[in-house]
Structure 1
Amino acid sequence: MKAKTYSTNSIIPGIAKEYDMVYFVNTSRKGLSYEDFVKIAKQTPFSIDDWSSFLHLSERTMQRYKKENKPFDPIHTEKILEIALLYDQGTDTFGDASGFNLWLDLPNVGLGGVTPKSLLDSTFGVTMLRHALVRIENGIPA
């Protein structure tokens, strides 16, 4: 099953313009390598502290993943990929990363007055942001 095609290249290693959901299922099951996580993280404005918060992992655990170069657990892999997909969608919606990065850091009335970035620690929050981006794509204030 293929998902939406975005005009930008994905920040997910090995993925181009079209997302293959089988890739995400398989990657989630086996776990994303720390090396691939770093490739994703470097293309976002998020620090390792931010990612640690989004994934509900301590900095020490993040350091252990790095040191042992072990793959992330499936639940954390899914969260990383979910945020990466959202980032791809956001940069496509805004036309570039800088516009999307700014939107992530500004309080948003449509999201209850919080910054979109503050919602990235929850699957429900990421879903809210995906819906907000679709509204923006369709010219509806979000």
Structure 2
Amino acid sequence: MIAQNKRRNTDRYNHLIKLLGKKYIKTDIENPLDFISVASRGVEAGIIINFRNAFNIPRDFAAEMLNISEPTLYRWIKEDKKLQRNYAIQLFELTDLFLFGNEVIGSQKNFFKWMELPNLSLGGLEPKELLNIPCGIDKVRNLLGRVDHGVYS
């Protein structure tokens, strides 16, 4: 079971690098702590375009998840500015969450539908409402983990 989970995570991290672009992520990612080291080296804002394209995310929703305004997001991409470390980490965590959600729920389309459903385990909030608050991604990930293990959520 542990080896299977490790392999599943490795596959997801390799997929994450492929989706976001090897141009932006120049090293292997083996665990979520590697997000910090990659982000600390600097990541250009152009990576946001790959993120949006990979999951068909509108610019306004991407800006909302990163807790910035839409004009700021546009300007960062246009100038190909280096993202501050915390924004890059947030983007990596969101990508990882979305890939995990696709695995658990079965498809990207169904995962994003699930993200818009009020959930009693989240106090009646929609999972997508938690993506831009501290620890929100972890709460959604934990909920998906429970679903993955067949625990009623």
Into which bin does the TM-score normalised by the smaller protein fall? 0.7 to 0.9
Quick one: structure 1 residues 19 and 30, their matched pair in 2 at CA, closer, same or farther if it must change by over 3 Å? closer
Aligned residues of 2:48 and 2:77 also touching (Cα < 8 A): no
Q: Does 1:20 align with 2:30?
A: yes
TM-score with structure 1 setting the length: 0.84
Partner residue of 1:29 out of 34, 40, 51: 40
Q: Which amino acid aligns with 1:115?
A: E
Count of residue pairs brought into register by the alignment = 138
Identify which range, 85-94 or 18-27, moves more after superposition: 18-27
Aligned residues of 1:33 and 1:70 also touching (Cα < 8 A): yes
Q: Does 1:58 align with 2:69?
A: yes
Higher relative contact order (CA 8 A, sep 6+): 1
Q: Paired residue for 1:76? A: 87
Partner residue of 2:104 out of 80, 90, 93: 93
* Cα distance in 2 between the residues matched to 1:100 and 1:81: 18
Partner residue of 1:122 out of 109, 130, 133: 133
Stretches of structure 1 lacking an aligned partner (at least 5 in a row): none
TM-score with structure 2 setting the length: 0.79
Stretches of structure 2 lacking an aligned partner (at least 5 in a row): none
Residue 83 of structure 2: SS of its match in structure 1? coil
Root-mean-square deviation (CA, aligned residues, Å) is: 2.2
Q: Which amino acid aligns with 2:41?
A: K
* Cα distance in 1 between the residues matched to 2:34 and 2:77: 23
Quick one: structure 1 residues 86 and 41, their matched pair in 2 at CA, closer, same or farther if it must change by over 3 Å? same
Identity of paired residues, percent? 25
1:85-128 deviations in Å (ceiling 9; x for gaps)? 10111011112211211101111111111111111002311111
Residue 150 of structure 2: SS of its match in structure 1? coil
Identify which range, 77-86 or 33-42, moves more after superposition: 33-42
1:58 CA displacement:
1.6
Q: Which amino acid aligns with 2:51?
A: I
1:45 CA displacement:
4.3
